Structure 1
């Protein structure tokens, strides 16, 4: 049986399993079993057992459940309740006013949750009723939330960057550092768009004049955000400074998050148990997907498909830009049907040989992938952020998608800037 025939059969099996609603991890393992059966005579059981066990026993992955738990603890604290109180006074003079709270609030929560859907749900629960009560246009409310919630995938500690680092054997600390400037770039683009929109559409904004608070009063209202900002700075700063590994910093972050939650009076037996169980379930899901992807990667290696595809792509003599353009379309289409983590672990075994053969920096490529996956989070039919916002607003998915379209285009601009100026992603990790 030819490699082309095997590839077509494996692709059909994958889409069949996913279409039937089978768990992503089981689908990956199923395709791996089929690949081993058709493409090699190596002992299936031995390879499967050793691969899954070996890749599950990874110290780098220990940071994953800890960062998830830290986000769950703070998700159940009073952070969201204090978001408007802390941020709104600083936004009153900016064109677009409180719409910026969605952007900056999402940026802050992204830095403690690492999850796009959790960011959309947390900030949306607070901001949508408040902005609606004040008379802000619904389309901009939804759009700013949809776009800025995706920052949870890029601003460290990003769960998907940990997954990418584990799947491709990249330094998670360097990936975290690489994500900070692209994350700030996206924040700047979102803020710039809202400022321009606010200047051009003053008649669509509510007529509130702002409270004209003094600097001291603004600081007083923001005092409950200060511990969270210090927590973020401490956790991420210790990684950047080389004082702690991501796993060590995550453990300290959990301890500090528990302390902050206790001091704020929101830590009790119920919130502790719910946070721990939610973090456990999410971590197990991701670990299970990674185990399935690891086996599929090894199985594909036995068949020789990735190297042959890399040679085929190389034979097309595509420039790196042309390859990245094709991969952008590929990842966006994949993201329409799978969540971001599944897209990353599903494609690395096939994509990475092509990327390496084209001479593309694999650390930079991780940031590229995350931005594209961010874009897929607000594309129908399976943009997770769209579903979250649909549930919060009661609007249909197309209305939510239309509101998110300008921010999708802004992410496309950010992606183009990172491609044309790769130093945006590589400067900090290469100079720290």
Structure 2
């Protein structure tokens, strides 16, 4: 049986197992072991555990559980609500300031926690009720939080970027730096849309009220004294200092990514102990349990995905697919568009972790051959996977929002996120036209590479 036929069976079998409802890790591991038994030497099955261990024995992957600990410590405290309240107090006079405050709070919290679902849950539980109480449409409020939460996989430290760096054999520090410019661009795009949409809704609410209709809550004025604003800062500033400190330690060359993650986790635990008095075993237990559960699940998916990729490589499926793509002789931009479309479709059904580890052996060689900078592509791919987090039918953040605000109809949530999906598409176009948005900062800090 030739590699093409084996590859077709491999892909079809994977889809059948995934759509059967089997957990992703088990589906990937089962299909890999099955094809090892059927098409590889008999001794290959004896090396399954060794292969998984060797693939996962990466010092870079060690940072994942430690970053998860840091995110859990912050996510399980009131840090998200306090962060949101402080930003809202300082921005309440800006048109649409509450919506913009939620975008900024999502960005800062995402940078501290590194998790999209955690950001949606922490900021959404405080932000959505506040926005709705002040006259924001339910779908609009849900869309702001769902889209803001996606920044968790783009702004460093990002678990998704850690995995891309491992899969593409690229510098993690350079990749983290490359995500900052596009991340800030998305924050500005989201904040700009939030301000424009609020002004439009405000004008409509004012027209209705002046015509004798009901006065919308968005027409009410809010006032915060300087004392009120200043009183909120002591609880927020330590976490901002933690974020800055972690970045300085990493990019200043003072610590490796794993050491930085460990430092961040310990400091986050220390901060919530001092600021929120979370230090008793019963209070710390949920943080450690959440870290253990999420880390185990994620590392199991990573291990099985790496085994899956190893079998693809051994059976020449990934090489054959890459050679076939190159053989099509597509122009480099058509090739890029086709690959990103493929990633978008996968994002409807799979989490970013699985997409990266499953597709990297196939898509990266043709992209490298076409002359694309893989650091730049890693950022581009991350934004496209962000779309999958809020795009139906299986956008993870959509269902997190439904859990936070169950009374908002799913239809309203979906319509609320679609403008943000369009803004992400705009960001992808801008990155293609101006790659320096992603590459300028890492080139400035770490020196230029020959890849672009």
TM > 0.5? yes
Match of 1:120 in 2: 120
Q: 1:257 to 1:101 in 2, by over 3 A?
A: same
TM-score normalized by the length of structure 1:
0.95
Deviations 1:110-130 (A, max 9, x none): 011111111111111111222
SS at match of 1:431: helix
Match of 2:303 in 1: 291
2:231 equivalent to 1:241: no
Match of 2:269 in 1: 258
Alpha-carbon separation, structure 2, partners of 1:399 and 1:327 = 30
Cα deviation, residue 40, structure 1: 4.0
Deviations 1:280-337 (A, max 9, x none): 1111111111111221222111211222222221121212211121122211111111
Deviates more, 1:377-386 or 1:189-198: 189-198
2:425 equivalent to 1:412: yes
Cα deviation, residue 181, structure 1: 0.7
RMSD: 1.8
Contact 2:99 2:195 in 1 (8 A): no
Aligned pairs for 1:30-45 (under 5 A) are 30-41=30-41, 43-45=43-45
Aligned pairs for 1:227-238 (under 5 A) are 227-238=238-249
Q: 1:307 to 1:124 in 2, by over 3 A?
A: same
SS at match of 1:60: coil
Q: How many residues align?
A: 431
Contact 2:309 2:357 in 1 (8 A): no
Match of 2:353 in 1: 341
Match of 1:309 in 2: 321
Contact 2:120 2:149 in 1 (8 A): yes
Contact 1:377 1:386 in 2 (8 A): yes
Aligned pairs for 1:56-205 (under 5 A) are 56-203=56-203, 204=205
Contact 1:178 1:429 in 2 (8 A): yes
Alpha-carbon separation, structure 2, partners of 1:104 and 1:349 = 36
Alpha-carbon separation, structure 2, partners of 1:125 and 1:153 = 20
Which of 400, 404, 423 in structure 1 is aligned with 2:413? 400
Cα deviation, residue 222, structure 1: 2.4
Alpha-carbon separation, structure 2, partners of 1:393 and 1:287 = 30
Cα deviation, residue 171, structure 1: 2.0
Cα deviation, residue 239, structure 1: 1.0
Cα deviation, residue 275, structure 1: 0.8
Alpha-carbon separation, structure 2, partners of 1:378 and 1:120 = 11
2:232 equivalent to 1:207: no
Deviations 1:194-239 (A, max 9, x none): 222233332347122231534x653332221111100000001221
SS at match of 1:43: helix
Q: 1:42 to 1:348 in 2, by over 3 A?
A: farther
Contact 2:319 2:361 in 1 (8 A): no
Deviations 1:229-252 (A, max 9, x none): 000000012212222111111111
Deviates more, 1:74-83 or 1:149-158: 74-83
Match of 1:219 in 2: 230
Cα deviation, residue 191, structure 1: 0.9
Alpha-carbon separation, structure 2, partners of 1:416 and 1:271 = 46
Match of 2:438 in 1: 425
Cα deviation, residue 47, structure 1: 4.3
Q: 1:348 to 1:42 in 2, by over 3 A?
A: farther
Deviates more, 1:184-193 or 1:298-307: 298-307
Contact 1:10 1:34 in 2 (8 A): no
Deviations 1:180-202 (A, max 9, x none): 11110100111111222233332
Alpha-carbon separation, structure 1, partners of 2:44 and 2:11 = 20
Alpha-carbon separation, structure 1, partners of 2:375 and 2:42 = 32
Cα deviation, residue 29, structure 1: 2.1
SS at match of 2:234: coil
Cα deviation, residue 355, structure 1: 2.0
Cα deviation, residue 421, structure 1: 1.5
Match of 2:288 in 1: 276
Alpha-carbon separation, structure 2, partners of 1:147 and 1:340 = 15
